[in-house]
């Protein structure tokens, strides 16, 4: 009632039309109550003022942080499977390297579906081999490697583990920074642990790359990527497929010989059918089974090719024997050339790779149609 009383008493004491006021109105000024004063005063309560200033400060701080984050040079993203890393896609996902002037690098971050992923197995002592490969069929620059992958539908990376030697790791980091063509896996790089490295490779490759086939290849063979793509593009009835140069042979039980098999007593006198180690192919369905295997659930033999062959035997896969991926010389149909059976790969590979590349039949002969391969 005091609010209305004050509003009317502020005038001449009467109504607008001069009529007498009702008896319950008083012409005497009424002192406003404390409730009315709290709403009509122009002063702002101190808590509200403090709260407003705090909100303003937070808003300004957020704006400044967003601006500084956008302008700051962002670190290259890392594409990992556990501790395994693909250095190539991390390189191309950065906006600093959109050099090709088109959309050719789009989709790398999302790992587009490949016809096949080829992991070139290498080591810390194989720098000369990698240099020879980069001077022959393996492009030495990221843009060239990207063009090869786009032309063939295949992905290519050097695959290497880790070392406790800090100097070796430092040298590797420099090489990675220069070429960006490595896949790093979380396993000790050691010859006696090749079966473990191979399994780690397939598991990481399956998680990092979507492909129809996964190829394990060594760094001492001469490869024709275009012909390999033609081979993998063939239609096959069997989903579980194991492609390679198949072999059998006596089990080596003498510890003094190179291919000694410590667990030879579990195999017998002769090895089961399996592919030579320098290069072979597993279909995605096979690799998916390997990727799902628990650690230490698969038997490891001394020799990597025997180990893989034993898994393939247990998994009931289709064995596809193809001699074009173990050709001892360059021919119109050769896919991989190496000195079988004299060496497991090329003898003196750093020199031989360059020599083969100069031969037109090796590097320049056309790829034959699929039916002729």
Q: Is residue 175 part of a domain?
A: yes
- Per the model's pLDDT, the better-predicted residue between 1 and 366 turns out to be 366
| Residue 51 domain-assigned (yes or no) | no
Q: Does residue 37 lie in a domain region?
A: no
- Tell me the sheet residues that pair with 215: 118, 281
Residue 58 inside a domain? The answer is no
167-195 pLDDT, tens per residue?
A: 999 999 999 999 999 999 999 999 889 99
Q: How many domains does the chain have?
A: 1
Give the tens place of pLDDT for each residue, 109-147. 456 799 999 999 999 999 999 999 999 999 999 999 999
Contact 100, 143 (CB under 8 A): yes
* Alpha helices (H) along 180-315: 194-208, 225-232, 284-292, 304-314
pLDDT tens digits, 271-306: 999 999 999 999 999 999 999 998 889 999 999 999
How far lies 329's CA from each of 220, 344, 354, in Å? 14, 14, 14
pLDDT tens by residue, 343-363: 999 999 999 999 999 999 999
Question: Looking at the DSSP assignment, which residues form a beta bridge with residue 336?
Answer: 223
| Residue 341 counted as domain residue | yes
Does 39 map to a domain? no
Range of the domain at 287: 85-89+112-358
Q: Is there a domain that residue 41 lies in?
A: no
Q: Reply yes or no on whether the pLDDT at 91 is more than 60.
A: yes
Q: What is the CATH number of the domain that holds 117?
A: 3.90.550.50
Residue 67 maps to a domain: no
Start-to-end CA span in the chain (Å): 103
Read off the pLDDT of each residue in 75-98 and give the average, rounded to a whole number. 59
pLDDT band at 205, cuts 50/70/90? very high
Whole-number pLDDT of residue 44: 58
Tokens 């090489």, residue?
175
């Amino acid at each position: 009632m005091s609010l209305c009383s004050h509003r009317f008493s502020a005038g001449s004491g009467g109504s607008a039309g001069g009529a007498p006021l009702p008896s319950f109105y008083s012409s005497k000024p009424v002192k406003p109550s404390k409730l009315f004063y709290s709403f009509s005063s122009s002063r702002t309560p101190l808590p509200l003022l403090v709260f407003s200033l705090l909100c303003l400060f937070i808003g300004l701080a957020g704006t400044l942080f967003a601006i500084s984050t956008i302008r700051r040079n962002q670190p290259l993203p890392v594409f990992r499977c556990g501790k395994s890393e693909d250095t190539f896609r991390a390189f191309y996902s950065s906006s600093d390297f959109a050099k090709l002037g088109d959309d050719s690098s789009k989709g790398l971050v999302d790992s587009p579906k490949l016809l096949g992923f080829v992991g070139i197995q290498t080591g810390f002592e194989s720098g000369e081999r990698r240099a020879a490969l980069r001077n022959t069929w393996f492009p030495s620059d990221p843009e060239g490697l990207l063009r090869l992958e786009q032309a063939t539908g295949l992905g290519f990376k050097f695959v290497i583990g880790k070392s406790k030697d800090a100097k070796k790791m430092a040298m590797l980091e420099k090489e990675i920074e220069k070429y960006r063509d490595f896949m790093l896996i979380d396993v000790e790089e050691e010859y006696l642990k090749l079966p473990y490295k191979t399994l780690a490779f397939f598991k990481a490759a399956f998680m990092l790359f979507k492909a129809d086939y996964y190829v394990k290849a060594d760094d001492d063979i001469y490869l024709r990527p275009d012909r390999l793509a033609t081979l993998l593009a063939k239609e096959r009835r069997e989903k579980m497929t194991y492609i390679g140069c198949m072999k059998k042979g006596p089990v080596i039980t003498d510890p003094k010989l190179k291919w000694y098999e410590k667990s030879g007593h579990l195999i017998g006198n002769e090895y089961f059918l399996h592919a030579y180690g320098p290069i072979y192919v597993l279909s995605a369905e096979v690799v998916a089974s390997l990727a799902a295997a628990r650690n230490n659930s698969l038997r490891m033999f001394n020799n990597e090719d025997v180990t893989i062959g034993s898994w393939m035997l247990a998994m009931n896969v289709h064995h596809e024997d193809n001699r074009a991926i173990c050709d001892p010389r360059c021919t119109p149909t050769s896919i991989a050339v190496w000195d079988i059976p004299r060496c497991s790969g090329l003898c003196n590979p750093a020199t031989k790779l360059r020599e083969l590349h100069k031969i037109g039949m090796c590097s320049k002969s056309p790829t034959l149609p699929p039916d002729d391969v």
